[in-house]
């Protein structure tokens, strides 16, 4: 754990535990090469933006962080898995973007990276363990600079190769309700459920639905 970069815990309830860390460690160790592609909705949202400081919550293999860094963003990439974080650091060096990617290990239910961001991205930041997700995402919304964007993309349906076959996913409006953000300070720019053709680890394809919520911080 990179304790020098941590802010104080976001919760004192200790709801996320070693099991979560073990689960995601195992997940990342067994999925060595897959997942380093940019997520299409992150690319679509960030492509027209002027690069600034970005935060990637649950960065996994780092595909989004590398894509952003190659376009000039300074990216803080965070994951609970030390294996994922270590690999993101190594791959960032290999890709020549190590100066723009800072990979940090956090259990986001317990600690949150320091800083203010122009873009916070939570791509499929979903877990079978208690995550205090709304609290994490509210903290993320508060870490935005005025004008900054919080992009939340969740599974709205499950691909056959997914680690989870859970089919209960909150709709974008439910996610927005849970965040309970003051409309005087944050605006919802997008809340919809597009479908796309997804490709799995063995090249298999399936049509899946994503649940998207895009929020902008309008005032400090």
- Closest by CA to 51, choosing from 70, 79, 78, is 70
HSE toward the beta carbon, residue 146, CA cutoff 13 A? 5
Considering only CA atoms, which of 123, 36, 38, 122 is closest in space to residue 87?
36
Judged by CB under 6 A, which of 46, 55, 60, 102 binds ligand SAM?
60
Choose which of 52, 71, 86, 124 interacts with ligand SAM (CB under 6 A). Answer: 124
Tell whether residue 84 is a contact of ligand SAM (CB under 6 A): yes
The residue (of 131 and 144) whose beta carbon lies closer to ligand SAM is 131
Q: Is 79 in the site for ligand SAM (CB under 6 A)?
A: yes
User: Which is nearest to 134 in space by CA: 170, 168, 166?
Assistant: 170
Stretch that binds ligand SAM, among 74-82, 141-149, 181-189, 190-198 (CB under 6 A): 74-82
Q: Does 112 help bind ligand SAM (rule: CB under 6 A)? A: no
- If one asks whether residue 39 binds ligand SAM (CB under 6 A), the answer comes out as yes
Among residues 66, 117, 125, 186, which is the contact residue for ligand SAM, using CB under 6 A?
A: 125
CA end-to-end span of the chain: 31
Do residues 80 and 105 make contact, with C-beta atoms less than 8 angstroms apart?
Answer: yes
């Amino acid at each position: 754990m990179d304790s020098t970069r941590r802010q104080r815990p976001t919760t004192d309830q200790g709801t996320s535990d070693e099991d979560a860390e073990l689960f995601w460690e195992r997940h990342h160790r067994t999925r060595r090469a897959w997942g380093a592609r940019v997520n299409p909705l992150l690319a679509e949202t960030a492509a027209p933006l002027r690069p600034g400081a970005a935060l990637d919550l649950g960065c996994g293999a780092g595909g989004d962080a590398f894509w952003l860094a190659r376009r000039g963003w300074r990216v803080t990439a965070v994951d609970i898995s030390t294996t994922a974080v270590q690999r993101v650091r190594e791959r960032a060096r290999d890709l020549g973007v190590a100066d723009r990617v800072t990979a940090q290990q956090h259990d986001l239910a317990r600690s949150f990276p320091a800083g203010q961001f122009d873009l916070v991205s939570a791509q499929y930041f979903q877990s079978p363990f208690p995550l205090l997700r709304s609290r994490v995402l509210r903290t993320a919304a508060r870490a935005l600079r005025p004008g900054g964007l919080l992009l939340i993309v969740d599974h709205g349906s499950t691909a056959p190769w997914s680690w989870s076959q859970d089919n209960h996913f909150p709709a974008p409006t439910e996610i927005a309700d849970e965040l309970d953000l003051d409309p005087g300070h944050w605006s919802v720019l997008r809340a919809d459920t597009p479908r796309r053709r997804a490709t799995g680890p063995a090249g298999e394809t399936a049509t899946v639905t994503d649940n998207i919520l895009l929020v902008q911080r309008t005032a400090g």
